[in-house]
Structure 1
């Protein structure tokens, strides 16, 4: 049932129609200069108008979400304390599930415990993992790491790794709840995520009103997050790398981000029309390929510079604890590391449970275990590789925090032609992230407005429009908007995780008891 269902379906339809009319107007404004495509000044003007329109809203949202508290002589955004404490609490409360559940999680992904006649979902463990990974393994691993090192120095890498390791426990809890409280629709499709475990789980605890309020707030922020981190940031950095690879200021696309955005919007639109099954058909093939390309290049550079690795690791460890560290000492470096880790792997944010809820299983704990692999692969493995390449290059000392440009230069220093390959990888990363986040945002949107055809179409059109907007905006504005939307989701989500954690703990203990006694069958 839609959140607005208790008001009337007419109200929801009225809102949808207004949104569609607004979209039509925006499309008209952006399409007006199309006959003048060759005139760079016009395109540049479109980019500038988009950026100026979004800047005030972005600044307002950023101030609200990232209010700071004093800690160790440094003002620390409260939302980071919120995420870090939660990750530590869940790691201890779940008896270090991030370590003891790791091996079993790999078996689950391999399909060792997949029953041939498994019911109650739409996709396999592997497909759910790749769909969620395609949303987390993205430009946060490439551009986000560069931003963290530029602002926090090499030591930020250490705290990124710590954020990934402890974030595995948060991811386990939220994805277990996502499956437990999901809603299976009459047509066999699945709707799940924090919206449902907040509303349904809190109702079980005797707090239905509080659950509905938190669920609505999460859904609203999730829609914004899908437009920000899952869309605008990806489009923005994919455009920047494309411009770099095609000649920089001499590129035909220079200052024509909206044109690039239109092309990406069309490609994304084609895929997301098919829903989660269409998305996983793409991500299950795309994720392994894009990760293989990026990881292979990273490993080639690291092995080629093997003699420099000890110094790089030394810089990471020393920078993490040095009182003279860049950006405000140890606390400042910790902030940058955890901030980028949280943005990259989204542990505690509440996005991943939406994808994992669609899995075919009647054991919620199994999907929680599969999900804990995400922060490890995303942050501990891929982000660390990116960081080592950047640190070995030494370019972070000279360049500004223009994200993807720094990473591209670092790779290009070792492999002269790699910026072209990186452009392909970046496009794949951005594309896969966008299509997965479109699903997250759609589920939040339909939770608010109901699962009607009108709601579905209006959201997908709006999502594609934000691809154009993100491509045209400045990086700083995009990052601020992205961080504000993504991190705001963590407030209602983690409240729910604390309240419902005892339920997860009981199910986890019961599952491992049955597993150890041989009650849970192996099929391979």
Structure 2
């Protein structure tokens, strides 16, 4: 019955959509009106504000930051201490340990009864579908996105240059959360009969908490997380990405036609469909090429602008430092600027949300901590490198051309330029780059589309994992989810469903609550796995 209901829903949804539009009922407007009250309630709960020195801070951000700080201290600053190990593991330096070595030194009971060492790839193979690098790029493709382009510009405009330092600090702390959740994602993953990997918070909440005698709580948290990740994949991981990519495309094409957005969405859906049909293996193969390429384009352009304005760099650094530690800042003082920076970093790298552990769970390894350590690089690349590049460009160009005044904000998303004109986040970044490099809007459009495309690839996988956890594994469930996901690409590109997107963002960050509970309870398991992996590396060096 469940399969038939899913199939029926898949067929009916597009029919309802187009029939309502045909009757002139305004599909997106009707949904916006109906959904706004729901969105407001959910958002108010997830982003419930706590006042700190007169500034409202969403409770979810406080939980993320305190969790990241705890994991950093608990694991003895592994985010810094093991950076070299992380880079070498990503490059495949320790693949021999993962794939061939019988690790009696690390505590495994090998060989088995017939004398065969079950860890050796020559005999049974290593569980997993993608390499360390592919898993990292798949996870990065979900976080390195429009938040790095649009969100950072708003953070700098609202909080001033000083927000940059606090973004970097939050990114460094977030590395610890990623390490913990990715390690658990691998440790408690399951392997299907077809060899596919099923992992992420749904599984370590269920299995890990059951080991602690908290099976009932674990099941409730896992189901809640799965529902949220499915909703988040349709909205923030899909419709928002398609909507912003279509908007940037229409700016470049100099058109406001709704049909342009629709056909852009159709083409984007076809491209996404060609990739996600192949599952995580094909997603990994695509992201390992797309993510480095788009990062090089964006960071490369940023460096060009920075080096073109070398003489302004000292003044920019001075503004960043003064803005971060000037208690008399008109933009809210140290706490106010700190809050803006921390909040933007948390929204950008999603460390502690748990979504990335789903991609990392598919890695080929016998050591859960090996992927956890690799995963810790994610927030560094996403926040410390790419977000910082965006911030530096905006600060330098603004110093040179006085594009806008820090703090001249109409609302959270719109600020005023020097002419009093309203400009948004993506527009501000585009303006900054365009001012420094003529016609850069073409390159930025390519970057935005690539960011959106890669984000949709990974979020399709995240959503599918939550979907199969809820509805079971099988071809029907797989096809139904992917069909719905591709329909949402077109809807997102051709509509203005603001409240739906706000709601989906709230769903994504609602994942923090069950995930952080699980991470705190299972943190000792992670420390054991780190020790086991480092012991195996040390033993291999001696040989």
> What TM-score results when the alignment is normalised by the length of structure 1?
0.89
Summarize the alignment of residues 79-478 of structure 1 with structure 2, pairs less than 5 Å apart. 79-115=60-96, 117=121, 119-247=126-254, 251=255, 253=257, 257-325=261-329, 328-394=332-398, 395-397=403-405, 398-399=416-417, 400=422, 402-474=424-496, 477=499
Q: Say whether the 8 Å CA contact 1:343–1:486 is kept in structure 2.
A: no
C-alpha displacement at 1:25, in angstroms? 2.9
Q: What is aligned with 1:7?
A: none
Distance across 2 between alignment mates of 1:76 and 1:252: 36
C-alpha displacement at 1:497, in angstroms? 0.2
Q: Say whether the 8 Å CA contact 1:23–1:461 is kept in structure 2.
A: no
Distance across 2 between alignment mates of 1:469 and 1:403: 22
Q: What is aligned with 2:58?
A: 77
Deviations 1:198-245 (A, max 9, x none): 000011111110000000111111112212321122122212221222
Distance across 1 between alignment mates of 2:455 and 2:261: 19
Q: Say whether the 8 Å CA contact 1:227–1:463 is kept in structure 2.
A: yes
Distance across 2 between alignment mates of 1:352 and 1:293: 23
C-alpha displacement at 1:52, in angstroms? 4.0
Distance across 1 between alignment mates of 2:142 and 2:136: 10
Q: Does 1:64 align with 2:45?
A: yes
Distance across 1 between alignment mates of 2:344 and 2:475: 36
- Bigger CA drift: 135-144 or 442-451? 135-144
Distance across 2 between alignment mates of 1:241 and 1:329: 34
Q: What is aligned with 1:13?
A: 3
Distance across 2 between alignment mates of 1:520 and 1:370: 23
Q: Say whether the 8 Å CA contact 1:171–1:371 is kept in structure 2.
A: yes
Distance across 2 between alignment mates of 1:391 and 1:30: 47
> What TM-score results when the alignment is normalised by the length of structure 2?
0.86
Q: Say whether the 8 Å CA contact 1:393–1:410 is kept in structure 2.
A: yes
Which residue of 497, 503, 514 maps to 1:492? 514
C-alpha displacement at 1:472, in angstroms? 4.2
Deviations 1:359-411 (A, max 9, x none): 00000000001000000011000110011111122235344562211111110
Give the secondary-structure state (helix, strand or coil) at the position aligned to 2:92: coil
Distance across 2 between alignment mates of 1:324 and 1:462: 51
Q: Say whether the 8 Å CA contact 2:358–2:462 is kept in structure 1.
A: yes
Q: What is aligned with 1:39?
A: none
Distance across 2 between alignment mates of 1:391 and 1:476: 29
Question: Which structure's CA Rg is the greater one?
Answer: 2
Distance across 1 between alignment mates of 2:267 and 2:330: 40
What is the RMSD of the two structures over their aligned residues, measured on CA atoms?
Answer: 2.3
Distance across 2 between alignment mates of 1:442 and 1:287: 21
